[in-house]
A and B are shown apart, each in its own frame.
Chain A
Amino acid sequence: MSHSEILANIQEKVIKGKIKEIEQLCLSALDEGLSAMEILEGGLLMAMQRVAEAWKNGTAFIPEVLITARAMNIGLAVLEPQLAKGERKNHGKVVIGTVLDDLHDIGKNLIGLMLKSRGFEIVDLGVNVKPEKFVDAIKEHKPQVLCMSALLTTSMIHFREVVSALEENDLRENLLICVGGAPVTQAYAQQVKADVYTPDAVSLADLLEARFA
């Protein structure tokens, strides 16, 4: 099998969710003389890019995105020790959480998985997160980005409280605040003084990667 065939095979297996084969495929590719960076970029990241494209076209759904992100993280665990120091850039730190009075977390989990696989460090505060917990986390972790999720009209009002609390604590500057969730709109994001709104987690992962990569 040529190197390009090996990489194409990894891509196919990732996209089809053959998670159990990913670890072995990455090890074999290393044995065949491919570098960890080549496998990462030509195999795993390319698979993720293809799924993101399919998402944009409306032909991929959450299972495919989750499977790809999971496969990517399994592959990374194999490849990371082989990557030269500093070869894979850390794009920055992202704090994520579902706001107070809300337990919905699939969007939050998705953004966490996707950003992790794309080279961001993730601090997941979980669900039903109080504004003061967001503030404490920003103080402690000093992230570049804060992503907040809400599925309910009764919980999305807490976006504004978090933004105000961050302003009061002088933590707002140099922090990119992203909001999302089913009832949230671009207009509402502006109203609560967030910086970024995207209609879904995949678009947000793309946007942050383009901004910080």
Chain B
Amino acid sequence: MPLDQSKFPKAKKDLLSREEVKAMIKGKGFTRPAQCVTPILYLPSEQPIRQKEMEQIIEEYPDDAVFFEYTRPKNFGKPGDRYVWCDVENADPLLHKNEDEVGIDEKTALEWDIIEQISPDVPDPYFPECLVQDFFEDDGRYRGIFWTRLSFERLWHFRGMTDTLMDFYLNPDEVKALLLKLRRIIFKVIDRSVDEYNFDAIAFTDDIGMQDRPFFSEDIFLEFIKPHYKEVIDYAHSKGMDVWLHTCGNVEPFIPHMIEIGLDVLHPIQKYSMDEEKIIEQYRDKICFWAGMEVQRILPFGSPEDVRQEMRFLIDTFYLPDKGRLVLASGNRFRHDIPTENIRAFFEELYTYGSYVAKHGVGKHESPSKDHTVLPDR
């Protein structure tokens, strides 16, 4: 399906086609950097106050790569639901948590003996009602499925974060068995995404970084996480899909491993957690960066000009002339403390400066964080 620009009547940009985004990812791109923001946003739940405004901005600046999410069935959590993560009676942490007490872990963490009772075939991604949310027909853009919780995030969904972090030492065999079960589910998601929807990619979330370092050591990554990632990536590649990954925080020690096992796109290279310039110097042209503008200081508390300057810095840093290797987004959700004028500046500059560098080459803009500290005024 060729890209038809007339399908986007309100767009203030020329969109990239599926082939152009694929070329951008593989380092064969001659276009501007691609935009892929909406999978990070969760617009309906995050932006109830200004949803119309946000939708208008997205209509003016549509993503070049779009991702769909699986939806829960209507009977989610009710008898007969085969999409639950835990079908042991009264034990599903999603349905029985009480977050206002001592903490999430204490109220939701499952013991291993409960986990072992979970039926092997839930959740079932082939459950008839688990369809792709807000689906629309192929319009010539690059398309994918967005699936949350690739490994660590799903482990702590079951076990709680505190227990999961200790499980790597105390219950390693159980951790590996749970990851194997998870892979079987992910493989089904990949199959369905290719067979029924012919998607180009699968994007995962898996926050394995904290602000200043990863959650766990490289040894733990090598023993538990890397083999899991590799099998998932190999399977997706065997079906012709690219693999995108979002992980918050500092994951610097893991990046060479991610490149080695063939991860295609990595988000967001979190500012203040990692040095973007050092990362690009080390891994230039070895992976496509889905650079995410930080949401801790500049987007919420900076001026629109700060946002524009940061966007120029990101593009100058990550965009490789004649190769591309750059998709752009925010680093995380646009929460309600991010002014709408900053969001507009973000999208405008992404397109305007992105188009400029594709024609004229990159500049040397510095991040506004270099010469002043952006602080909240509250």
Contacts and interface: CB of A to CB of B under 8 A. Distances in A.
Interface of A: 16-17, 19, 58-64, 66-67, 70, 98, 103, 105-106, 108-109, 124, 126-128, 152-154, 156-157, 160, 182-183, 185, 187-188, 191, 199-200
Interface string B146-171: 00000000000000011001101110
B279 interface: no
B166 A127 contact: no
A200 B212 contact: yes
B170 A17 contact: yes
Given A58-B213, A61-B215, A127-B103, 19 more contacts: A19-B170, A61-B220, A63-B166, A63-B168, A63-B216, A67-B170, A70-B166, A106-B161, A108-B103, A109-B105, A127-B104, A128-B100, A152-B335, A154-B336, A156-B376, A157-B378, A187-B373, A199-B211, A200-B212
Given A63-B216, A153-B300, A17 B169 contact: yes
Q: Which 8 A-B pairs have the closest CB atoms?
A: A17-B169, A182-B211, A183-B296, A105-B103, A126-B102, A63-B165, A61-B216, A154-B335
B213 A61 contact: yes
A20 B297 CA distance: 44
Contacts, number: 94
A106 B162 contact: yes
Contacts of B165: 62-63, 66, 106
A66 B162 contact: yes
B99 interface: yes
A109 B100 CA distance: 15
B258 interface: no
A158 B162 CA distance: 25
Contact of B103 (A124, A153, A187): A124
Nearest to B214: A61
Interface in B72-100: 99-100
B223 to A, nearest CB: 12
Main secondary structure of the interface of A (DSSP, over half): loop
B134 interface: no
Contacts of A126: 100-103
Interface of B: 99-105, 161-162, 165-166, 168-170, 210-217, 220, 249, 295-297, 300-301, 335-337, 373, 375-376, 378
B337 A109 contact: no
A187 B377 CA distance: 12
Nearest to A124: B102
A112 B170 CA distance: 21
A153 B104 contact: no
Contacts of A191: 375-376
Contact of A66 (B100, B104, B166, B378): B166
